[in-house]
Amino acid sequence: MTDADYMRRALFHAQRGTGATTPNPLVGAVVVTPDGVVVGQGRHPRAGDPHAEVLALDEAGERARGATLYVTLEPCNHQGRTGPCTRRIVQADISRVVAAMPDPNAAVDGGGFAELRRHGIAVDVGLLADAAARLNQAFITVQTRARPMVMVKAATSLDSRMAAAPGVRTPLTSRQANRRTQRLRAAVDAIGIGSGTLLTDDPVLTVRDCYRFRPLARVIFDRRLRTPPGARVFSTLDAGPIMVMTTAAAISRQPERAQALTSAGASLIEGAGELGADLRRLLAWDISTLLLEGGAAMHAAAWTAGVVDRVHMVVAPIVLGDDGVKFFDGLPVPLSRLTPVRVETLGPDAWMEADVHGNR
């Protein structure tokens, strides 16, 4: 077994926390003795619980003495909801720490590595850094851009149409692709749609057929306050909060509609009328990942604002024709900005995932 093998194991454990750790990062840790025996493993399960390093060291016990700790993110050296991991590592008499990447949190930012080195612990940084950074892209985005990570998910026809015509509900994807969508929903903090999609599809925006640990927030971007208080989504308040991102002007113009939405269970957020600034307001709700599911105008607005970080596109083997609603509302999406990650065949559909580069 090599250092990379042990780090892959730590990344595996970190990924198991997907959908549960916000606002904290996904972290996995593995303790390995000098003769290559794994004696401790752990992952951070949720905010407020012990960190991955502590759980791995607890499992290792006395066998951690002189061992190597593999961890996917720089150990913290400050007091938060839990104590500093660096102190626990020093107490365990670990001889070497191999970390995939530094912690972008300004409260850490290299301080954890510095403290370990001051205590004579060898520290190696950067092993499988790209994989670790992609796993924690949401945490990195929050720390460096002060907004949630935004993923766009869209279903299109072979001729890049999302609906047969404006305002027409057009189911496109297969049962297999729909199950994959539910898994994606289970992994994010919030689903976002525009008011046009709400009026056309009247979706419930819940996770079905798979387990989700935390409540799922639903965000309706609605500058004109068009959301009807009788929308089906308000029947799902037990699944998580429902936020209507609007403006003070819209609330002032329609006080009765605003009151009706509040009575229906909506939390009205007075946005700034600029998507980037509106997204930053979601951090107060512990939303680090936002899945924008619709519609085309909402996707185009997010792309134009430079806030799309990842794209999930499902292509169905049908043709909708020239009257159909174009993918991203017809906005050109330069392929040079996209790095393909994977393509899956789900029934008759193709699911394509790509990372976006160059956003602010």
* Residues with Cβ within 8 Å of residue 53, at least 6 apart in sequence: 27, 29, 42, 69, 71, 75, 85, 88, 89
349-356 and 310-315 strand pairing = antiparallel
Task: Supply the DSSP symbol for 71.
Answer: E
Residues in the chain: 360
Chain-centroid distance, C-alpha 136 = 8
Q: Which of 102, 10, 101 is nearest to 56 (CA)?
A: 10
Chain-centroid distance, C-alpha 166 = 29
* End-to-end C-alpha distance for the chain, whole angstroms: 40
Q: Which of 123, 124, 112 is nearest to 51 (CA)?
A: 112
- Give dist(CA 330, CA 46) in Å, integer: 40
Catalytic residues, which ones?
A: 53
**Number of Cβ within a 10 Å radius of residue 70:** 31
Q: Which two tokens stand for residue 85?
A: 């991991």
Q: Which two tokens stand for residue 113?
A: 């590595």
Helices 52-60 and 3-15: angle between axes, nearest 10 degrees: 120
Cα-trace Rg, the chain: 22
- Which backbone phi and psi does 291 adopt, to 5 degrees? -100, 110
Q: DSSP labels for 263-319?
A: HHTEEEEE--SSHHHHHHGGGGGT--EEEEEE-HHHHHHHHHTT---EEEEEE-S--
H helix intervals, 92-225: 111-118, 129-135, 137-145, 175-186, 195-201
